[in-house]
Structure 1
């Protein structure tokens, strides 16, 4: 019979979506950490 690559493409797309979400989440987490660190530095320079 005929072989279809459509399920493989759908699986690749799903894995790409999962990877893109993980990359976006880790970027947001890194930005949040940097913002907290910068605010701590500002607090220390103002109040110490």
Structure 2
């Protein structure tokens, strides 16, 4: 069986971030098929136009 985890969040009006990870489940255990997300979220700053 393959599961997809897609946690997401809204961080500003009309702005959303989603990350997907695919995980293979077998009788022997789980195996990540996609690259794992970094444990610490990267901060992206937007410059305000004046």
TM-score by length of 1: 0.23
Q: Which has the higher strand share?
A: 2
Q: Which has the higher helix share?
A: 1
Structure ID, larger Rg: 1
With CA pairs under 8 Å and 6+ residues apart, which has the higher RCO, 1 or 2?
A: 2
